[in-house]
Structure 1
Amino acid sequence: MTAPAVLDIRGLDVNYGLGDKAVHAVRDINLTLHRGEVLGLAGESGSGKSTLAYAVTRLLSPPGVITGGEVIYHPRKGEPIDILGLGNEQLRAFRWQEISLVFQGAMNSLNPVHTVRAQLTDVLKAHRPDMSRAARDARAAELLALVGISRDRLGSYPHQLSGGMRQRVMIGMALALDPDIVILDEPTTALDVVMQRQILRQLTRLRAELDFSVVFITHDISLLIEFSDRIAIMYGGRIVEEADSKEIYESANHPYSDGLLHSFPALHGPRRELTGIPGSPPDLTAMPNGCAFHPRCPKKFEPCDQRVPVLAPPTPGSDRSVACWLHAEA
């Protein structure tokens, strides 16, 4: 039985700039995050993954603007909340309390002139002003323990921590107010493989303990297959395939998904040749006609350069969906 939805994204469009020169960075995104689920979001740089995360949390910097769609949060109790309709004060209270974001590049996200204690307790001070100083310090120590860091590091500055420790501090900060949803924007990109696996194991444990849902954004689809329940593949600002991680791994329907899979070494089993994807991601200011992937696609045929395929189930009644003319007849 499918868990209830905690986040619904419907018809979301995001542009950079206005008028005829606007760049359409995210186009007609439809996604549902279920309670307790890890939803992976994969794609090359420039596919719109981070823009989608910042749009959902209303953290887009100018000239980014949401031009259409809706983002609905379903709390455990009470009525659904339209995130795009929240006022500034409501939004300030909503962020970190219900949905939090771990930014990529922890050294750039942490303030270099403040200690770990100051940065963790600032979150608590802003959202829970009635907490005593002693209670805030105790909670900060508890958060560090959650992510596997000793409490004697509370007095450390970011430059005194390793890259993995800084990233874990950011994860602890995101969990400070027990949110329902945590968005991880490429949290392991700058870390070595051993540290990546350590952080992913800790995230898996924390999700089981604290019962939050995760949107995990990365270009490394091999990480998503290991960590995610479901994966959505983005290309040119659109979702081109969505399915269970096992289904993506065993039988990717979209040629782009298959190309991503063969761009990384296999996690298990025999070695296989890495083929990669020829060409480069599309220029968002001059998108090709039809399917955005067709200039790089080894399986393109007549409709691909003329019409944009619709994201739909490849077979009637299927739980997965794909936007590709190879499956349009079915």
Structure 2
Amino acid sequence: MKRPVLEIRDLNVDYGLGDDAVHAVRNVNLTLHRGEVLGLAGESGSGKSTLAYGITRLLPPPGVVSGGSVLYHPSGGEPIDIMALTPAELRRFRWAETSIVFQGAMNSLNPVHKVSTQLLDVIKTHEPTMSRSARLARARTLLKMVGISADRMDSYPHQLSGGMRQRVMIGMALALEPQIVIMDEPTTALDVVMQRQILRQLVELRERLGFSVLFITHDLSLLVEFSDRIAIMYGGRIVEEAPAAALYRDPLHPYSDGLLHSFPALRGPRRELTGIAGSPPDLRAMPTGCAFHPRCPKAFDPCAGELPVLGAPPVPDGRTRTVACWLHPTKDTAPLIPAPRK
């Protein structure tokens, strides 16, 4: 089995405090293994970005991690609880061990500083003894690694195309060769041709450098091509997790099936796009039972009253996947209800 590099255990993230707090992430458990790409998919408002900011402790106020732990497993040594790091330890940890590529590169890069300045700042902060010439050489190598000519070092962000700015962000994220790269919808603002170019380059870099990727997007079609495993998030919870090929071939949760039928297939026969009726739930007033049941075409009696447990389903490949759905009850919940199949 692959060794874990990041373990998220019972993580809860709230916005606000007390009785008025909005529970944006609820009891999330995920494991990212060394060298793999874990995709995280779901509609806007499902809690994907909040989860990313929670595990990196970048939540803006009034966001707060209200429970759980995030364990980082270095290549040597004992696991580190990111939630317990002091501000000084957290500053050393970020970029060196884990980095993040945000959704909008134009909002992440400082518009009044050259690309070279922003790359060199990252390296200088963590490698203060490195000479300026060595830092410049490292910055040129990073740009070359992501397919940008070194003569663009002195360009400002507005002088670069959207794809080039995103490549600069990826290069900056890899500046200190971290073990984990979190990508929060990094290709959303790009056209499909540029999306594929950047993802292809990211795959090559991952194979060369061996880092792990948590890739967050609402576009499940990207994850099917790019990820080793995919976790589906809805209403702040993980509702299904499976190998990418298994999820594409046989999604168990109706929400996963709805996402897969919301984009056209690139190959094979034509299929009807059905989409998902309704809107994501209001986190301030979540439905009882399964949060998806008001929109689910397969909902039946238990769905509205009982919250399904995320666990291994009784299917042939059940050991490699989990699902939280009364259509596929786990071993512990099977005696409670009849289990109609799809």
TM-score range (shorter-chain normalised) is: over 0.9
Give the match's secondary structure for 1:205. helix
Q: 1:219 maps to which residue?
A: 218
Contact preservation (8 Å) 1:101, 1:183:
yes
Cα separation, 1, equivalents of 2:307 and 2:126: 45
Q: 1:5 maps to which residue?
A: 4
AA paired with 2:321? Answer: R
AA paired with 1:319? Answer: T
AA paired with 1:196? Answer: Q
How big is each residue's C-alpha offset from its partner over 1:174-224, in whole Å with a ceiling of 9 and x where there is no partner? 000000000000010000000000000000000000000000000000000
Q: 2:239 maps to which residue?
A: 240
Q: 2:250 maps to which residue?
A: 251
AA paired with 1:118? Answer: T
How far 1:271 moved relative to its partner?
Answer: 2.1
Cα separation, 1, equivalents of 2:35 and 2:193: 26
Q: 1:17 maps to which residue?
A: 16
Matched, 1:86 2:80: no
Which residues in structure 2 correspond to 1:194-233 (within 5 Å)? 194-233=193-232
Cα separation, 1, equivalents of 2:243 and 2:124: 40
Give the match's secondary structure for 1:144. helix
> Matched residue pairs, number?
329
Matched, 1:182 2:181: yes
AA paired with 1:322? Answer: V
Contact preservation (8 Å) 1:222, 1:267:
no
How far 1:278 moved relative to its partner?
Answer: 0.2
Cα separation, 2, equivalents of 1:323 and 1:67: 23
Give the match's secondary structure for 1:197. helix
Which residues in structure 2 correspond to 1:1-330 (within 5 Å)? 2-315=1-314, 318-328=319-329, 329=334
Give the match's secondary structure for 2:319. coil
How far 1:268 moved relative to its partner?
Answer: 2.2
Cα separation, 2, equivalents of 1:4 and 1:300: 37
Give the match's secondary structure for 1:13. strand
AA paired with 1:305? Answer: A
- Please give the root-mean-square deviation of Cα atoms over the aligned residues, in Å: 0.8
How far 1:318 moved relative to its partner?
Answer: 1.8
AA paired with 1:153? Answer: R
How far 1:273 moved relative to its partner?
Answer: 1.5
AA paired with 1:325? Answer: W
AA paired with 1:254? Answer: H
Cα separation, 1, equivalents of 2:298 and 2:314: 19
AA paired with 1:95? Answer: R
Give the match's secondary structure for 1:325. coil
Runs of 5+ unmatched residues, structure 1: none
Cα separation, 1, equivalents of 2:34 and 2:61: 31
